[in-house]
Structure 1
Amino acid sequence: MSALLDTRDTGATPTPPRPPGAAHPPRRVGQRVWGEVWRLLASLLLGALLLVVSFGLSIDAGADDSDLRLGGTLVADVAMGLVALALLPFRRLAPLPIAVILGLAGGFSAFAAPAAFLVLVSISTRRRWFEIGMTVAAWLTSLTLVEIFGLHFMLSPSSPGDALLALLVGAVLVFAGVAIGVSIGNRRELVASLRERANLVVEEQNLRIAHAREHERTLIAREMHDVLGHRLSLIAMHSGVLRYRTDLDAADRADTVAIVHDTTRLALGDLREVLGVLRSPGDSFDPPANAPQPSLDDVASLVHAEPLATLTITAETLEIPATVGRHAYRIVQECLTNARKHAPGQPVTVDIIGTAGESLTIVVRNTLAPGGSTVDESGGGFGLVGIDERARSLGGTASVETHAGAHTVTVTLPWPTS
């Protein structure tokens, strides 16, 4: 319930939906920079390792090749690797051209292969099959030229068996990269979909809470409408006396004028409360001094109507302002209704403690029913929202907690002395 009450201030805004294959949400600058740095470092280190291993194997396989050919192969391999590393950070600016270029380079250059593989995975996350097909074709073309036709910078070609095996392994790695990229893209879309659904749920809950609060404010405004009508009827009655009773002596006329004056002042206070209740949540207003509605004195009969409810009042109820008393009565009434709904047949205790000039505290505690819930699944827990709205309308607070098998609602209302 505390989470339910806190939802009003979250200001949650749903994230607009993204089309399938769209890039994941923007990250902070530091995260983007670090992401590029570790990819570059990983490609550099792994590419250097592959270059050393590949060059060593090339020396063994091409023992008859001249030093010029070996040196040319090494220089070309390193040059293509550096180009691949330079293009890697720009893979999102021109995905398809960079993926095709690095796909062609990845088959020829061991140093460029890790960076080209990362670009292959990256473009596969977009799940656009034309782009994936073009990139895979570039990879397979370069692998075929190297392994089948021996175009590896004029080194001696491999034997047919070794070449076919190398081509098969390369193709498996290429399709594995595609599978990894597509899987990452699917996961991103799923996460985005779940995030969007969660935001929609939050927005819907916020709308339901706002509707419940508006409904509660409307009910309070209706109560104050009755109060205001009562005041105005008194004013009309006594002003009518002043108009038609010409036989009143000075003392009676002065008393009647005083009654009209006091009642008018109280009616203005009631009107301020009505307008305050109808304002947007969070606005404060000054409560009036009195109101002919259920008061704290009526709580005793309300509690005694519940067979298993007990009441303890440690406060001078006669000194409590009528507005505070009326809201206290409604709060206790709602708490008893919730207890009867969620924990039927369980004992309920109502403690009312307060001091004039400080605050009035209402504590309603009920034992939980076996397997019971503290929130009504059918009603959405809006009774508790109404309690919180009433408390906030007077500048008070409301809290709900469940501990040691008991459900406790604690409401604190200000207790003005005048």
Structure 2
Amino acid sequence: MSAAVVPDHPWLLPGALTPEARAPRRTPRDWLVDVVAFLLALGWALVAFGDAVSPNPQFAHNAGPSWLVGVDLLAGLACCAALWLRRRWPVGLAVVGLPLALFSVTAGVALLIVVFTVLVHRPLPVGAALVGFHLLTVPLYTAVRPDPSLPYWGTVAWTVMFIGVVVAWAMFVRARRQLVLSLRDRAHRAEAEQQLRVDQARQLERTRIAREMHDVLAHRISLLSLHAGALEFRPDASPQEVARAAGVIRGSAHAALQDLREVIGVLRADTAGGDTGPERPQPTLADVPALIAESRAAGVRVTLVDEVADPADVPTAVGRGAYRIVQEGLTNARKHAPGAAVAVRLAGAPGRELSVEIRNPWPVGPPGPVLPGAGTGLVGIAERVTLTGGRLTHGRDDATGDFRLAARLPWRA
């Protein structure tokens, strides 16, 4: 016998599949292995029968009674034929073949192949029980078919040793195949975990894009609303003022559409599993003056006090967070306190903190038309600040009565 006697099937781990799944369709390799196993068992049966009927006493020493020779041949041939069923019912064949182990010489190799199959492919307690029963039959077999050339216990020891070699070989094949299955399972699991990490990264990227779009679009749409409201309430405005307002509205609408087009393209590419392409440069603290200028061009009264010596020294994540905080503060001021003056202050140095503060007077009088919103702007800003390890406060300042949005972001040296 060889390790190829037991083919490589997906039912290597016992009890993992149903009996139907444990007998897959034979592959060409399976047919080759089964043919080799059948020929080995049949060849041994014919050799053993030839020895039993040989006139030479040296070969016919343990033939036993004459009637037993014919019965032994039939039993051996039946076991050889039954090997074609060992893939589906190895345990049943092993149990049925136990009585033959008491007297049959011709069925010896076929029975060992069946036991080998059970040890490799079925739970170890089942295989151990079958091996134990076969070991119990060895003394009885030796008594029925004695070997004159060896003493009784010598024959028993030789037979037990041969069975032990087959068991050890089967355990080695079983351990090797289970190791292969374990490595294959680990590879599949690692691949699945990698895919899960990729999916999570995509989901996080979609969430980040949604947050960025909320900040950007809220800012642009508030500019649109501001100028549209000015045109609505000032029908007597000069043509120059109307043209300027219309230009800001057109520019803001074009920028908002461009932002929407980009985010939709990114999300579609992500859904299709394609490459999203390079992203636009993200804003940093150095872009805050341009943001202030954009709001001033829209007619918002904004003052900026920038006490940061070199904005380029601010870490990228911290600078982007500060930019979004200022952007959200200006958007809230335009929404809830239209026409109010807004004060923005930036301060900080490496090794300390970056302080961002936006103030505007608390609105008085009846509330005007309010832009619709999701109400999650400050929530998103708070989460952004928390992720950078900073602190955020917002609300009415009891000392001045202004609305104050302030954040302190860590600025490591």
Question: SS state of the match for residue 80, structure 1?
Answer: helix
Aligned AA (1:128): L
Q: CA deviation at 1:98?
A: 0.8
CA deviations 1:279-300 (Å, max 9, x no partner) are 683347999xx99947xx9xxx
Sort the Cα spacing of 1:252 and 1:23 in 2 relative to 1 into closer, same or farther, 3 A: closer
Match of 1:102 in 2: 97
Structure 2 distance, partners of 1:164, 1:61, is 22
Alpha carbons 1:147, 1:158 under 8 Å: kept: yes
Alpha carbons 2:51, 2:60 under 8 Å: kept: no
Match of 2:259 in 1: 270
| Counterpart check, 1:60 vs 2:60 | no
1:368-407 equivalence runs, <5 A: none
Match of 2:125 in 1: 129
Identity level (%): 30
Match of 1:244 in 2: 233
Structure 1 distance, partners of 2:127, 2:144, is 26
Alpha carbons 1:239, 1:260 under 8 Å: kept: yes
CA deviations 1:125-149 (Å, max 9, x no partner) are 22433553234424642x4444323
Q: CA deviation at 1:259?
A: 4.1
Sort the Cα spacing of 1:29 and 1:280 in 2 relative to 1 into closer, same or farther, 3 A: farther
Match of 1:329 in 2: none
Unaligned residue ranges in structure 1 (runs of 5+): 1-15, 151-156, 306-418
Alpha carbons 2:119, 2:170 under 8 Å: kept: yes
Structure 1 distance, partners of 2:276, 2:174, is 57
Question: SS state of the match for residue 60, structure 1?
Answer: coil
Q: CA deviation at 1:121?
A: 0.8
Compute the TM-score of the two structures, normalised by the length of structure 1: 0.52
Alpha carbons 1:120, 1:135 under 8 Å: kept: yes
Structure 1 distance, partners of 2:282, 2:150, is 101
Structure 2 distance, partners of 1:131, 1:238, is 86
CA deviations 1:239-289 (Å, max 9, x no partner) are 1221222222456535533542453243233234345545683347999xx
Bigger relative CO (Cα 8 Å, ≥ 6 apart) = 1
Structure 2 distance, partners of 1:247, 1:133, is 103
Match of 1:225 in 2: 214
Aligned AA (1:210): D
Correspondent of 1:170 among 156, 159, 167: 159
Alpha carbons 1:51, 1:110 under 8 Å: kept: no
Aligned AA (2:47): V
Aligned AA (2:203): E
CA deviations 1:84-143 (Å, max 9, x no partner) are 1222132243333311333443564444222211111111122433553234424642x4
Structure 2 distance, partners of 1:279, 1:237, is 32
Query: Which stretch has the larger CA shift, 53-62 or 75-84?
Result: 53-62
Match of 1:84 in 2: 79
Structure 2 distance, partners of 1:17, 1:77, is 33
Sort the Cα spacing of 1:227 and 1:93 in 2 relative to 1 into closer, same or farther, 3 A: same
Q: CA deviation at 1:35?
A: 1.8
Unaligned residue ranges in structure 2 (runs of 5+): 1-9, 288-309, 314-413
Structure 1 distance, partners of 2:130, 2:240, is 104
Sort the Cα spacing of 1:204 and 1:106 in 2 relative to 1 into closer, same or farther, 3 A: same
| Counterpart check, 1:44 vs 2:33 | no
Q: CA deviation at 1:235?
A: 0.7
Q: CA deviation at 1:40?
A: 3.3
Question: SS state of the match for residue 270, structure 2?
Answer: coil
Compute the TM-score of the two structures, normalised by the length of structure 2: 0.52
Aligned AA (1:233): S
Question: SS state of the match for residue 144, structure 2?
Answer: coil
Sort the Cα spacing of 1:292 and 1:107 in 2 relative to 1 into closer, same or farther, 3 A: closer
> Would you say how many aligned residue pairs link Structure 1 and Structure 2?
276
Question: SS state of the match for residue 264, structure 1?
Answer: helix
Aligned AA (1:256): A
Q: CA deviation at 1:223?
A: 3.2
Sort the Cα spacing of 1:23 and 1:169 in 2 relative to 1 into closer, same or farther, 3 A: farther
